[in-house]
């Protein structure tokens, strides 16, 4: 009888360890993968709440699995736990453009494309990133982005009609490089 009890205790202990281990692994994997990628971008940007223009992904500059090869990227590791982050961007004409925020668990917690903007393309648009419930003094012409996650990464994507059309590429690049942190 004591052997049966011991076996049952062992099985229950093993199952409990398996459940805890499983939950922990699945919780940590996206956060670790995301944190490592954000840390690399933060080093390039020189800190948080700074934009870094990445341009087009190539095999030489990007080891992210299944990375897009037809969109210019601007990245910004954000931390809005203390104060909102204000960004100014210029929206290109006639091409797909989007701004996306990803939380610390890599979830896409905010996405907006050029067709969803209240302003017309070709104009300067201002965004204020802040945590949900944070009282933000909103100025005119500013789009509020309430975030569930105080830390994460912001990605601005501009679709490139043809990566080999140097003239258009240069125009889109210079346009995207105009993106800047307005204030914190």
**Is 113 an interacting residue with respect to other proteins (CB under 8 A)?**
yes
131 binds other proteins (CB under 8 A): no
> Considering the rule CB under 8 A, would residue 170 count as an interface residue with other proteins?
no
162 binds other proteins (CB under 8 A): yes
How many angstroms separate the CA atoms of 29 and 23, rounded?
10
Cβ proximity to other proteins, 67 vs 90, nearer residue: 67
Indicate the residue among 66 and 82 with the shorter CB distance to other proteins: 66
Nearest one of 98, 116, 107, 101 to 157, comparing CA atoms: 98
Among 1, 4, 66, 82, indicate the residue that binds other proteins (CB under 8 A). 66
Return the range that interacts with other proteins (CB under 8 A); candidates 23-31, 47-55, 82-90, 136-144.
23-31
155 contacts other proteins (rule: CB under 8 A): yes
3-state secondary structure 59-96: CCCCCCCCCCCCEEEEEEEEECCCCCEEEEEECCCCCC
Applying CB under 8 A, which of residues 1, 5, 25, 82 lies at the interface with other proteins?
25
Interface residues toward other proteins, by CB under 8 A: 10, 13-15, 17-18, 21-23, 25-27, 29-30, 33-34, 37, 57-60, 62-70, 95-96, 98, 100, 102, 105-109, 111, 113, 115, 153, 155, 159-165
């Amino acid at each position: 009888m004591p052997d049966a009890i011991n076996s049952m205790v062992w099985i229950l202990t093993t199952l409990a360890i398996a459940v805890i281990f499983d939950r922990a692994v699945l919780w940590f994997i996206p956060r670790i993968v995301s944190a490592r990628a954000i840390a690399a971008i933060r080093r390039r940007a020189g800190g948080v709440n700074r934009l870094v223009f990445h341009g087009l992904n190539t095999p030489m500059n990007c080891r992210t699995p299944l990375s897009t090869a037809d969109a210019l990227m601007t990245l910004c590791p954000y931390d809005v736990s203390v104060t909102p982050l204000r960004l100014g961007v210029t929206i290109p004409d006639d091409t797909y453009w989007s701004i996306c925020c990803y939380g610390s668990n890599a979830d896409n917690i905010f996405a907006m494309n050029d067709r969803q903007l209240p302003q017309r393309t070709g104009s300067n648009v201002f965004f204020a990133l802040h945590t949900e419930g944070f009282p933000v003094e909103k100025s005119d012409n500013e789009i509020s982005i309430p975030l569930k996650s105080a830390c994460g990464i912001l990605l601005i994507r501009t679709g490139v009609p043809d990566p080999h059309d140097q003239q258009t590429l240069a125009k889109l690049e210079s346009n995207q490089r105009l993106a800047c942190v307005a204030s914190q």
